[in-house]
Structure 1
Amino acid sequence: MFTGLVEDLGSVEAIETTADGARAIIRTRLAADLGLGDSIAVNGCCLTATEVTDGTFAADAMHETLRRTALGALEAGSPVNLELALRADARLGGHIMQGHVDGVGALRDVREDGFARVVTFTAEPAVLRYVVEKGSIAVSGVSLTVSAVDDESFSVSLIPETLDRTTLGALAPGSPVNLEVDIVAKYVEKLVGR
């Protein structure tokens, strides 16, 4: 489980792609806190540390992960949002996240609003059905509050701290992002549907 509070802005050292999938090697100060088999969210996608060295870790992405996320767009030098799995004694500062990406969206529009930046992302209807104004959503692993939503997109307002400490400040129009909706909404829908 994760909270969407990015702990480090890591950097992809290498991507090794084969017919079987891909392996990412990522440089981060969080490597010192990782052990083999530990979960870590990479741009919001829960991956398993398969190798840990001084200052780096490796994680494998199977075809299913590459099909359902924006991880396949990463290349050497790409910055990535990183978060270690939540400890049972830690504060839940963002919202409950599983690291299970629900879909890939894309940056559509950016506008300045005082010291904040309003960012709009397109998303598929299957994702947008769970997005509500003032509700939570994870964008590339960052817990955010939805400021507006319509049939094709949603917007979030980002403060300078978020823009500086995550990948969201450097996104260009069309950039793909991983999206994870609030898990509670999906459970409610299933229970009410019965």
Structure 2
Amino acid sequence: MFTGIIEDLGIITKLDKEQDNLHITVKSAITNELKIDQSVSHNGICLTVVEISEEHYSVTAIKETIDKTNISDLNIGDFVNLERAMKLGDRLDGHIVQGHVDQIGTCESIKEDNGSWIFTFSYDDTLGNVTIEKGSATVNGVSLTVVNSQNNSFSVAIIPYTYEHTNFKHLKKGSKINLEFDVLGKYIQKLYNNRL
């Protein structure tokens, strides 16, 4: 369980393909606080730490994860948003984030707006995911408030701190992003669909 509040920007230092698996090595300022078997969110993808060496650690993505996220688009030198799992009893500064990506979306536009940025993302609405105005959505692991909810797209407003301390500053029009929709909304949507 995560909150969507990013702790560090990690750097991809090594990518190794082994059969259907992808082994990813990350350099991060939080490495010395990690332990083997710990869950860490990487651009919103919950992955388990399998190896630690000085300031680097490694995780493994299996085929299911590779098929449903943008993790196969990573390159050496890319920045990833990192968050460790929340501690029971801590403040929930973002919203409830599971680290289970629902689908890949696309960055449609980026607009500077007098000190902030408006990012618009599109997604395949036939998969049953929805956003609501002023609801929560997770983009590359970042907890955000929806400011313009449409049937297959939504926008978010990014403050300068979030822009500078996440990989939002590296997104471009056409960038593929990981989306996790609000878990409460997903349950309500499923209940509603079951009643029809």
TM-score band w.r.t. shorter chain: over 0.9
Corresponding residue of 1:34: 34
TM-score, scaled to structure 2: 0.95
The question of whether the paired residues in 2 share the 8 Å contact of 1:137 and 1:180 is answered with: yes
Secondary structure of the corresponding residue to residue 30 of structure 2: helix
Corresponding residue of 2:122: 122
1-side partners of 2:128 and 2:166: how far apart?
23
2-side partners of 1:143 and 1:123: how far apart?
17
The runs of 4+ residues in structure 1 deviating greater than 6 Å are none
Corresponding residue of 2:113: 113
Alpha-carbon displacement from aligned partner over 1:161-190 (angstroms, at most 9, x marks no partner): 111000012211111110000001112233
Corresponding residue of 1:181: 181
Identity %: 38
Corresponding residue of 1:83: 83
Corresponding residue of 1:142: 142
The question of whether the paired residues in 1 share the 8 Å contact of 2:129 and 2:186 is answered with: no
2-side partners of 1:152 and 1:191: how far apart?
20
Q: Which runs of 5+ in 1 are unaligned?
A: none
Residues 160 and 128 (structure 1 numbering): CA distance in 2 closer, same or farther, change over 3 Å?
Answer: farther
The question of whether the paired residues in 2 share the 8 Å contact of 1:128 and 1:153 is answered with: no
Residues 129 and 60 (structure 1 numbering): CA distance in 2 closer, same or farther, change over 3 Å?
Answer: closer
Corresponding residue of 1:10: 10
The question of whether the paired residues in 1 share the 8 Å contact of 2:129 and 2:181 is answered with: no
Please tell me the residue identity of whatever aligns with 1:143. S
Corresponding residue of 1:94: 94
Corresponding residue of 2:19: 19
Alpha-carbon displacement from aligned partner over 1:21-77 (angstroms, at most 9, x marks no partner): 100000001111111110000000000000012111100000110000011100110
Question: What is the CA RMSD across the aligned residues, in angstroms?
Answer: 1.3
1-side partners of 2:128 and 2:153: how far apart?
7
Secondary structure of the corresponding residue to residue 174 of structure 2: coil
The question of whether the paired residues in 1 share the 8 Å contact of 2:130 and 2:151 is answered with: no
Greater displacement, 92-101 / 114-123: 114-123
